[in-house]
C-alpha cells in the first residue's frame, strides 16, 4: 500500500456533525420520553415547557407562534421540520452530511440513514398523543441505535472514525447535562416528605431516560439521594452516558488523532478537556447542588461549545474559505 | 405461466423495428431464447412485483439523480426496466472497434486543431466552424497533453436502425454521465433476478473504476511515483452527484469540491486534516466554463483558481482536457466520417446518421423542404432539448422550427427520422416494445478500453424516440454475451492467482 491519503478536512467536519445530529435525534426522544413520565396532571404545560427552557429554545418556540402547552412542545420537537432543533430537522441535517460523506461511509450506513430520514420526516400527528408517544420515542431511539450498530460494524476505522466518535461524545455529554437540567426547571409543589418521594420518582425517570436506571442501582449506596443520581450521571467512570466518561472518550480520541495520525493543533482542545475534568472533580456533588446545579451545567455546556470550536479550528476551519459568508456553519 | 398468469410476451409486436430481444441472430447460440423462456416462466405478476421491489431498492440505496424545480429538490431514480437488452459477441466486436476508432479520431482531431490545423488548411472542415465554435478554447493552442489524449472518458450514443445496423447519433466528449447505472443495474439484476441471471455468460462490468483509475494514473505527471488522483465534483446539488460518489468509491479516491482544492506556485493541493496534500490527476465533472475563475467564468464558485495554470505547467493532469467540447458539437458531428478518414485513413466502422448541415445553403434548403420528415436539432444543446421531430410535430411547431432555422441557420442540423430499435419493456399493458439507444463508455489513457455494453436508455412512453433521463427515459441492464471459445467470466485478478 502507498502512503495513506489524509482525510479531507470537509469529510472530517461532516463526520463530526453527522454523529452529533444523530446523537441529538436520539436525545430528543429521550428528553420527550422523560418529560412524558414527569407530566403532572395540574402542571402538564409547565412540565413540557421545561423542555423548551433546557434547550434554550424559548425564542424559537415563541417566534414560531406556539402556545405554551404540551401538544405544542411535542409538535415543536417531533414534527416541525422548520424548527432547527426538531427531530425532523436534525435527521435532515444528519442526512445532508451523510450525503456529502457517501464516498467515505459504508453503503449500509447511508441506506439506513436514508430510510430513517424518510420515516422521521413524516411522523403522523396521531403518534404524538396517548400511548403512541412512548412508542414513537422508542422507535426513534431504535432507529439511531441501528445507525450506531451499523456504523460500529461497517465503518472503516481511519481518522474519520475518530472524528465521528468525537462528534458523538461531545453531543452525548452535552445532552446528559440537559437531561440533568430538567430537574432544575421543574416546580415541585409539595410538602417536604411528599417532595422527597416525588423527587426520587423524577430522578428515577431521568435515569430511565438515560438508560441508566439499573446500572445506577448496581452502584448506588443504600438509601441513595438525588445527589447520588447527579454524581452518577456526571462522574461515573463506567456509565456510557456520564459526562466524565464522555470527556475521557473525547480525550482519548483527540490523543489518538495526535499520536497515531500525527495531527497537529490539538493542544487547545486537550487543555480544554483538562479544564472540564478539573471542573468535574473540583467540588463534591453536594457542593455543586448547593451552589446551583443549573449554573454548573450551564458552564459545562459552554465548555463543550468552546471545545467543539477548538476542534474546528484545528482540523476543519480552513477547508472552505467562504464558510462564514455562506452560512454553512453548523450548530 | 398459468391461465391466470398468461405469457408475458402475449401482445408484443415489434412492428417495423429491429427488436433487441430477437433470438437467432448472429452470435446468439440460444441465449436469447433462454432469456425469453425464463422471463415467461417468472410471469408478469412476479415481474411487476420484483420490478417494484428493485425500484424501492434503488431509492433506499440513493441511486438517484436530482431534479430541481423552483422550490424543491427531488431525488428520482432512473426508471429501471428489468428486461435486459442483449448484445451478442460479434455485435460487440463491431461496437467496440467502432468506438475505439471514433475516440482515436476525436483525439487526433483535437490535437490537430489546437496545433497545426492541417484539417482546416486542407479544407476538410470549414475553419470558422472550429475556430468560431463557442467550445473552442484558444487557451489550448500549442499545449500538448500526455499520449495526445484529450478525451479520456467518452460516451458515444449509438442507435440501431430498422435493419439492425448501428449508427452513431452523438459523441459525448466532455463529461458524459450514466456509467454508474451500468454497474448498479447489473448488481440490481443479480439481486432481484437470480433465476434469470443464473449461468448466463456475460462480460462483467465492474472493472470500470479500476480501469478509470489506471488511466488517470497514467496521465499524471511522470515525475510523481505515486500520483494522487481525485474526482472533482460540483457537489451534492449536482444532478449527477450519485455518479460522482460512485466513481470516487469505485476508484478509491477522494471526491473533492472546488473549495477543497487550492493552487500555490502552480501546484494543486487539497485541504486535509493534516494540512495540504498534493494532487496530481483530476477527473473533473465540472464543465470548462466553471473550472477556473481566473481563466474562464470569473463568477464560478465551483472551480479552483489557478487550476488551468497548474495544468499547463504540467503539474497536474485533467480529464477530460479543456476544450474537447468543440469535437462533440453536433455541427462537427456531421463531419466525423470525413474526420475518421482524414486522420486514420479508414472507413468508419460505425456510420453516422445522415446529417444535413443547415449552415450550408444546400443543407438548409433540403431541411426547409422536408421539415415534416426530418428531425431538427440545435447544435449546442444536450439532453434532448430543443428538438423538433417533423413527422410528430404540429403545424405550429413546424412553423416555429422554420422560423428558428431561418433566423440562425448555423445553429441547426437535420437528420432523417431513424426507426430506433425496440426491446420488450414492462409497462402497464405488459411487455411492450419501447425504443432505446446505447451509450458505451470508453476510457483512454495510453490506450483505449471500452466497458463491455454501456448504458441502454429506453423511452418509457409508447412510440417516443426521446430516451433522455431528463425527458422521462429509463434504463436497462445491458448484456454483452460472452459466448466466444475463450470466454472469461471474471475480471482478471488484481494480484496473484488463487490456485491452491
Distance CA B337, CA B102 (A): 9
Q: What is the pLDDT of residue A221?
A: 87
- Given B226, B245, B259, which is nearest A320 (Cβ)? B259
CA distance B204 to chain A (A): 21
pLDDT at residue A290 is higher than 70: yes
Contacts of A8 in chain B (CB under 8 A): 254, 256, 260, 270-273
CA distance B455 to chain A (A): 23
Contacts of B241 in chain A (CB under 8 A): 99
Partner-chain contact A99 B270, CB within 8 Å: no
Q: What is the pLDDT of residue B333?
A: 92
pLDDT band at A306 (very low <50, low <70, confident <90, very high): very high
Cell of B238: 449536482
In this prediction the ipTM stands at 0.88
Would you say B461 and B428 are in contact if contact means Cβ atoms under 8 Å apart?
Answer: no
Q: Work out whether strand B281-284 and strand B317-319 pair parallel, antiparallel, or are unpaired.
A: parallel
Cell of B325: 467540447
Name the residue among A74, A70, A75, A118 with its Cα closest to residue A94: A118
- Cell 486542407 belongs to which residue? B122
Name the residue among B486, B484, B454, B489 with its Cα closest to residue B208: B454
Q: What is the pLDDT of residue B469?
A: 74
Distance CA B380, CA B391 (A): 23
User: Does any CB of chain B come closer than 8 Å to the CB of residue A12?
Assistant: yes
Q: What is the pLDDT of residue A325?
A: 36
Which residues make beta-bridge pairs with B430? B427
Contacts of B274 in chain A (CB under 8 A): 6-7, 261-264
Distances (CA, A) of A29 to A75, A213, B377, B385: 13, 17, 57, 48
Cell of A33: 420520553
- Show me where the domains of chain A are located: 9-319
Contacts of A320 in chain B (CB under 8 A): 259-260
Q: What is the pLDDT of residue B3?
A: 52
- B356-416 domain in CATH 3.90.470.10? no
Determine what percent of chain A is predicted with pLDDT higher than 70: 91
pLDDT at residue A31 is higher than 80: yes
pLDDT at residue A154 is higher than 70: yes
Q: Higher confidence at residue B334 or residue A148?
A: A148
Partner-chain contact A115 B301, CB within 8 Å: no
Whether the domain at B221-315 and the domain at B356-416 fall into the same CATH topology: no
Distances (CA, A) of A160 to A16, B230, B263: 8, 18, 25
Would you say A38 and A202 are in contact if contact means Cβ atoms under 8 Å apart?
Answer: yes
Selected residues 263-282 of chain A with any CB under 8 Å from a CB in chain B: 263-264
> Torsion angle, CA of A207/A211/A214/A220, rounded to 10 degrees?
-40
Q: What is the pLDDT of residue A319?
A: 44
CA distance A240 to chain B (A): 28
Question: φ and ψ at B138, to 5 degrees?
Answer: -55, -25
Q: What is the pLDDT of residue A320?
A: 43
Partner-chain contact B274 A262, CB within 8 Å: yes
- Show me where the domains of chain B are located: 221-315, 356-416
Partner-chain contact B241 A319, CB within 8 Å: no
Partner-chain contact A103 B60, CB within 8 Å: no
**DSSP assignment, residue A313?**
I
- Given B245, B273, B275, which is nearest A103 (Cβ)? B245
CA distance A2 to chain B (A): 7
- Count CB atoms within 10 A of the CB of residue B498: 6
Cβ neighbours of residue B114 closer than 8 Å, sequence gap 6 or more: B140, B141, B142, B143, B323
pLDDT at residue A97 is higher than 50: yes
Which residue of B lies nearest to A13 if distances are taken between CA atoms? Answer: B273
Q: What is the pLDDT of residue B4?
A: 58
Distance CA B206, CA A141 (A): 38
Q: What is the pLDDT of residues A264-282, one digit of tens each?
A: 889 999 999 999 999 999 8
* Strand blocks (E) in B187-338: 229-233, 255-257, 261-264, 267-272, 275-278, 281-284, 317-319
Question: φ and ψ at B262, to 5 degrees?
Answer: -150, 160
Contacts of B209 in chain A (CB under 8 A): none
pLDDT band at A329 (very low <50, low <70, confident <90, very high): low
| Average pLDDT of adjacent 10-residue blocks, chain B of 500 residues | 72 95 91 95 95 90 75 79 96 98 98 98 93 92 96 97 95 95 95 94 96 98 95 92 95 96 96 94 96 91 94 97 93 93 98 92 94 89 74 92 92 92 95 97 98 96 83 91 59 41
Cell of A140: 426513534
A:B CB pairs within 8 Å: 77
Q: What is the pLDDT of residue A35?
A: 86
Which residue of B lies nearest to A4 if distances are taken between CA atoms? Answer: B228
Would you say B156 and B99 are in contact if contact means Cβ atoms under 8 Å apart?
Answer: yes
CA B39 to chain centre: 28
CA distance A15 to chain B (A): 12
Distances (CA, A) of B9 to B36, B79, B286, B407, B432: 8, 21, 44, 48, 8
Q: What number does CATH give the domain B221-315? A: 3.40.50.11290
Partner-chain contact B273 A96, CB within 8 Å: no
Q: What is the pLDDT of residue B77?
A: 84
**DSSP assignment, residue B202?**
B
Partner-chain contact A10 B254, CB within 8 Å: no
Q: Using only the alpha carbons of chain A, give its radius of gyration.
A: 20
Q: What is the pLDDT of residue A291?
A: 87
Would you say A64 and A48 are in contact if contact means Cβ atoms under 8 Å apart?
Answer: no
User: Does any CB of chain B come closer than 8 Å to the CB of residue A190?
Assistant: no
Amino acid at each position: 500500500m502507498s502512503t495513506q491519503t489524509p482525510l479531507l478536512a470537509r469529510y472530517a467536519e461532516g463526520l463530526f456533525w453527522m454523529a452529533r445530529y444523530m446523537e441529538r435525534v436520539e436525545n430528543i426522544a429521550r428528553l420527550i420520553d422523560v418529560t412524558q413520565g414527569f407530566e403532572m396532571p395540574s402542571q402538564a404545560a409547565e412540565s413540557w415547557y421545561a423542555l423548551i427552557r433546557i434547550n434554550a429554545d424559548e425564542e424559537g418556540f415563541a417566534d414560531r407562534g406556539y402556545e405554551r402547552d404540551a401538544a405544542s412542545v411535542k409538535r415543536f420537537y417531533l414534527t416541525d421540520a422548520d424548527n432547527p432543533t426538531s427531530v425532523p430537522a436534525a435527521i435532515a441535517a444528519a442526512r445532508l452530511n451523510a450525503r456529502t460523506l457517501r464516498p467515505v461511509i459504508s453503503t449500509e450506513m447511508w441506506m439506513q440513514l436514508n430510510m430513517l430520514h424518510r420515516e422521521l420526516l413524516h411522523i403522523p400527528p396521531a403518534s404524538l398523543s396517548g400511548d403512541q408517544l412512548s412508542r414513537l420515542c422508542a422507535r426513534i431511539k431504535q432507529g439511531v441505535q441501528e445507525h450506531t450498530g451499523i456504523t460500529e460494524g461497517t465503518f472503516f476505522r481511519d481518522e474519520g472514525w475518530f472524528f465521528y466518535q468525537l462528534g458523538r461524545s461531545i453531543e452525548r455529554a452535552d445532552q446528559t447535562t440537559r437531561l440533568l437540567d430538567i430537574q432544575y426547571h421543574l416546580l415541585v409543589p409539595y410538602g417536604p416528605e411528599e417532595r422527597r418521594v416525588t423527587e426520587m420518582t423524577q430522578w428515577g425517570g431521568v435515569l430511565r431516560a438515560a438508560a441508566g436506571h439499573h446500572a445506577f442501582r448496581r452502584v448506588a449506596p443504600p438509601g441513595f439521594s438525588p445527589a447520588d443520581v447527579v454524581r452518577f450521571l456526571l462522574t461515573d467512570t463506567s456509565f456510557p452516558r456520564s459526562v466524565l466518561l464522555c470527556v475521557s472518550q473525547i480525550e482519548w480520541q483527540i490523543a489518538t488523532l495526535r499520536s497515531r495520525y500525527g495531527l497537529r493543533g490539538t493542544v487547545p482542545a486537550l487543555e480544554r478537556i483538562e479544564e472540564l475534568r478539573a471542573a468535574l472533580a473540583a467540588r463534591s456533588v453536594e457542593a455543586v447542588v448547593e451552589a446551583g446545579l443549573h449554573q454548573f451545567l450551564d458552564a459545562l455546556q459552554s465548555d463543550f461549545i468552546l471545545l467543539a470550536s477548538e476542534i474546528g479550528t484545528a482540523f476543519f476551519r480552513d477547508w472552505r474559505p467562504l464558510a462564514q459568508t455562506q452560512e454553512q456553519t453548523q450548530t | 405461466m398459468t391461465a391466470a398468469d398468461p405469457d408475458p410476451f402475449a401482445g408484443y409486436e415489434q412492428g417495423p423495428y429491429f427488436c433487441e430481444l430477437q433470438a437467432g441472430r448472429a452470435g446468439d447460440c440460444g441465449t436469447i431464447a433462454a432469456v425469453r423462456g425464463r422471463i415467461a416462466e417468472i410471469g408478469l405478476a412476479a415481474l411487476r412485483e420484483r420490478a417494484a421491489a428493485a425500484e424501492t431498492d434503488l431509492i433506499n440505496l440513493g441511486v438517484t439523480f436530482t431534479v430541481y424545480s423552483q422550490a424543491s429538490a427531488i431525488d428520482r431514480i432512473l426508471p429501471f426496466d428489468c428486461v435486459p437488452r442483449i448484445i451478442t459477441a460479434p455485435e460487440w466486436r463491431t461496437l467496440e472497434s467502432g468506438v475505439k476508432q471514433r475516440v482515436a479520431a476525436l483525439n487526433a482531431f483535437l490535437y490537430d486543431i489546437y496545433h497545426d490545423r492541417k484539417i482546416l488548411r486542407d479544407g476538410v472542415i470549414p475553419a470558422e466552424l472550429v475556430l468560431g465554435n463557442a467550445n473552442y478554447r484558444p487557451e489550448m493552442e500549442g499545449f500538448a497533453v500526455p499520449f495526445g489524449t484529450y478525451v479520456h472518458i467518452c460516451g458515444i450514443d449509438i442507435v440501431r436502425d430498422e435493419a439492425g445496423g448501428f449508427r452513431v447519433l452523438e459523441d459525448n466528449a466532455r463529461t458524459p454521465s450514466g456509467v454508474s447505472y451500468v454497474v448498479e443495474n447489473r448488481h440490481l439484476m443479480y439481486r432481484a433476478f437470480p433465476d434469470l441471471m443464473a449461468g448466463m455468460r456475460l462480460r462483467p462490468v465492474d472493472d470500470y473504476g479500476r480501469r478509470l483509475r489506471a488511466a488517470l494514473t497514467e496521465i499524471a505527471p511522470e515525475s510523481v511515483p505515486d500520483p494522487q488522483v481525485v474526482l472533482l465534483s460540483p457537489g451534492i446539488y449536482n444532478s449527477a452527484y450519485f455518479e460522482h460518489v460512485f466513481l470516487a468509491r469505485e476508484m478509491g479516491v477522494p471526491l473533492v469540491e472546488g473549495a477543497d482544492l487550492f493552487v500555490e506556485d502552480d501546484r494543486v493541493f487539497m485541504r486535509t486534516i493534516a494540512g495540504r496534500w498534493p494532487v496530481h490527476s483530476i477527473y473533473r465533472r465540472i464543465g470548462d466554463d466553471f473550472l477556473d475563475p481566473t481563466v474562464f467564468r470569473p463568477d464560478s464558485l465551483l472551480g479552483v483558481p489557478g487550476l488551468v495554470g497548474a495544468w499547463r505547467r504540467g503539474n497536474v493532469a485533467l480529464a477530460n482536457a479543456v476544450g474537447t467540447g468543440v469535437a462533440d458539437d453536433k455541427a462537427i458531428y456531421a463531419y466525423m466520417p470525413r474526420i475518421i478518414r482524414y486522420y486514420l485513413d479508414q472507413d468508419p466502422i460505425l456510420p453516422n446518421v445522415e446529417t444535413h448541415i443547415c449552415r450550408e445553403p444546400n443543407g438548409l434548403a433540403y431541411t426547409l423542404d422536408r421539415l415534416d420528415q426530418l428531425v431538427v436539432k440545435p447544435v449546442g444543446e444536450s439532453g434532448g432539448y430543443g428538438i423538433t421531430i417533423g413527422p410528430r410535430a404540429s403545424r405550429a411547431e413546424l412553423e416555429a422550427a422554420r422560423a428558428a432555422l431561418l433566423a440562425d441557420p448555423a445553429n441547426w442540423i437535420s437528420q432523417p427520422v431513424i426507426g430506433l430499435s425496440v426491446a420488450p419493456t414492462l409497462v402497464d399493458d405488459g411487455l411492450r416494445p419501447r425504443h432505446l439507444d446505447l451509450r458505451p463508455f470508453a476510457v483512454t489513457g495510453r490506450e483505449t478500453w471500452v466497458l463491455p455494453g454501456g448504458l441502454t436508455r429506453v423511452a418509457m412512453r409508447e412510440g417516443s424516440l426521446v430516451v433522455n433521463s431528463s425527458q422521462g427515459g429509463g434504463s436497462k441492464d445491458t448484456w454483452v454475451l460472452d459466448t466466444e471459445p475463450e470466454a472469461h467470466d471474471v475480471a482478471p485478478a488484481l494480484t496473484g492467482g488463487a490456485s491452491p
